[in-house]
Amino acid sequence: MRGGVRVLAVGAVLLALATLSFGLSRLPLGAWAVPAALGIALCKAVLIAFFFMHLAERPGGPRLVIGTAGVFVGILVGLVLAEAAARAWPTLPPGPFPVSRLPGTERSGPPRAAPPWLPLP
């Protein structure tokens, strides 16, 4: 039954962290809101991986596999954001052309329909 008690303890921490995440979202954290929310989510993910997904019992291969996946995610998100942050503003979507066809801004009438699908020549 010791395992069951541990599951319940980890579960209580998970529910507390979710409540904390919701509570923090009601506070004016400004630029820290996203890092704080993602940090709490990461804590929850590590707890679930180690105690619910049995990583605590399985050193070696499984930890290497999921750790490598985590590093790859970091490389993907990090390099994409680094490149996008270094772009000049006019090259970012929607680009140098004026924003057009947004609902409620320059037209009235029924909601805009999707453009007809055309097969490629």
Residue ranges binding other proteins (CB under 8 A): 1, 3-4, 7-8, 10-11, 14-15, 18, 21-22, 24-25, 33-34, 37-38, 40-41, 44-45, 48-49, 51-54, 57-58, 61-62, 65-66, 68-70, 72-73, 76-77, 80-81, 84-85, 92-94, 99, 102-105, 111-112, 114-115
Quote the least distance from Cβ 42 to other proteins, whole Å: 8
Nearest to 101 by CA among 115, 90, 89: 115
Quote the least distance from Cβ 60 to other proteins, whole Å: 8
Distance from C-alpha of 9 to C-alpha of 12, rounded to nearest angstrom: 5
* Cβ neighbours for 24, distance < 8 A, ≥ 6 positions apart: 33, 36, 37, 40
